[in-house]
Amino acid sequence: MIDETLKVEFATEILKKFLPEEMHDEILKELNAELDKKTSAPIETFTASDRAAILVEALPYIQEFHGKTIVIKYGGNAMVNDELKASVMQDIALMKFVGINVVIVHGGGPEITGFLKKLGKESSFVSGLRVTDEETVEIAEMVLCGKINSEIVTLLNRRGVRAVGLSGKDADLIQAEKKLATVYDGGEKTKVDIGYVGKSKQVNIKIVNDLISQDYVPVIAPIGVGEDGESYNINADYVAADIAGALKAEKLLLLTDTEGVYKNFEDKQSFISALKADEARQFIKDGVISGGMIPKVEACLRALDRGTNKAYIIDGRLPHSLILELFTASGIGTEVE
């Protein structure tokens, strides 16, 4: 019996016929390497029945999502590990070539932190949000827009996907205002000013819709523009939520460095596969959900409130996590509903 992960990994190989021919060797090499870690049976030994079952499982989901819009928040280890980066780009290419409208919002926290360290600046966080002075926001904008965004666009273009890079400042896509961090202490809530950290005041989604209609994949850096033209660094989870809501997306997928939400992170048996909105809000208030998971859960709630159909937090450390979530019956991660 082939387990679920192997089935979907091989489904990706089967579905490579949807991708440009020049990608086939790259995909086959990666899938064989991944299978070698899990089984002694190479792809070539899979029977015709195995292949048919895999394709039969995947095709209904391809049909379901054809023509739908899915917003991906790309971040975490999947942005810095070269193998995972290649896996994500392949998944996005596959999604695009089977008719899904893909919109990417990316983070870049580790790279910003690394660059700040080189300049002798230490990073501090409040409720998962970076404290950002004027110099820090300039560095963040340079890293997010000048380095990371252009790299993602290049990687997708090389795979036959027509990608276009944007920041929230382009065409006033994200008009922003200052965001105060929320700190919970003993059930009490206080607000803290953390500098040039923003929140979306208005999303002008026309430029994104225009690009989608022309068969492009928009790749959005989470920098917003204030009333006086100042830049605001906005948490990419929140930007992805606002974009997904404005587009009335079918799904918001947040890639992170954990399997999803736990009631007790130290107890792996406490994993939560489905989290009700009211329960999620209470968990944040009680401190069950804390740190960097707060923006992710809040982003899911925000997206749902604004018209997104479904929102998920999934493990970006797992190769082909996007395909696992979209094209299998079981899916992965935590759905916030």
Q: How do residues 135-149 score in pLDDT, each as one tens digit?
A: 999 999 999 999 999
% residues pLDDT > 90 (the chain): 52
Are both 114 and 203 inside the same structural domain?
yes
Last residue of a domain, one of 43, 65, 87: 65
Which residue's entry shows tokens 């870049």? 108
Are both 96 and 173 inside the same structural domain?
yes
Are both 53 and 74 inside the same structural domain?
no
Class of residue 125 by CB neighbours under 10 A (exposed 0-12, middle 13-18, buried 19+): middle
- Angle (deg, nearest 10), helices 293-305 and 277-286: 150
Are both 30 and 167 inside the same structural domain?
no
Are both 206 and 329 inside the same structural domain?
yes
Are both 74 and 60 inside the same structural domain?
no
Band (pLDDT 50/70/90 cuts) for residue 267 is confident
How far is 333 from 271, CA to CA, in rounded Å?
9
| 183-252-179 Cα angle (round to 5) | 30
Q: Which of 124-128, 262-266, 304-308 shows the highest mean pLDDT?
A: 304-308
Cα–Cα separations (whole angstroms), residue 163 to 156, 217, 240, 266, 294: 6, 5, 17, 40, 30
Token pair for 237: 């989870």
Last residue of a domain, one of 36, 65, 94: 65
Are both 26 and 77 inside the same structural domain?
no
DSSP assignment letter at 143: I
Band (pLDDT 50/70/90 cuts) for residue 245 is very high
State mean pLDDT over 4-31.
53
Where does 134-212 show beta strands of DSSP type E? 163-167, 174-185, 188-203
Give first-to-last CA distance, the chain, whole Å.
33
Residue 9 makes CB contacts below 8 A (sequence gap 6+) with 31, 34, 35, 319, 320
How far is 64 from 66, CA to CA, in rounded Å?
6
List, for residues 197-242, the tens digit of each pLDDT value: 999 999 999 999 999 999 999 999 999 999 999 999 998 999 999 9
Which residue's entry shows tokens 């759905």? 335
Task: Give the three-state DSSP class for 69.
Answer: strand
Are both 244 and 177 inside the same structural domain?
yes
Where does the chain show beta strands of DSSP type E? 69-74, 101-106, 125-126, 129-130, 163-167, 174-185, 188-203, 217-221, 223-225, 231-233, 251-256, 261-262, 271-272, 274-275, 310-315, 334-336
Token pair for 21: 């021919």
pLDDT at residue 1, as a whole number: 35
pLDDT at residue 142, as a whole number: 95
pLDDT at residue 26, as a whole number: 60
Are both 147 and 240 inside the same structural domain?
yes
Are both 141 and 270 inside the same structural domain?
yes
Our count of domains for the chain comes to 2
Quick one: which of 307, 106, 122, 141 has its CA closest to 218?
Answer: 106
Q: 220: domain range?
A: 70-336
Are both 259 and 313 inside the same structural domain?
yes
pLDDT at residue 45, as a whole number: 58
How far is 336 from 298, CA to CA, in rounded Å?
10
How far is 285 from 279, CA to CA, in rounded Å?
10
Q: Is 22 left (phi over 0), alpha (psi -120 to 50) or beta?
A: alpha
Are both 36 and 171 inside the same structural domain?
no
Band (pLDDT 50/70/90 cuts) for residue 51 is low
Last residue of a domain, one of 65, 82, 101: 65
CATH code of residue 285: 3.40.1160.10
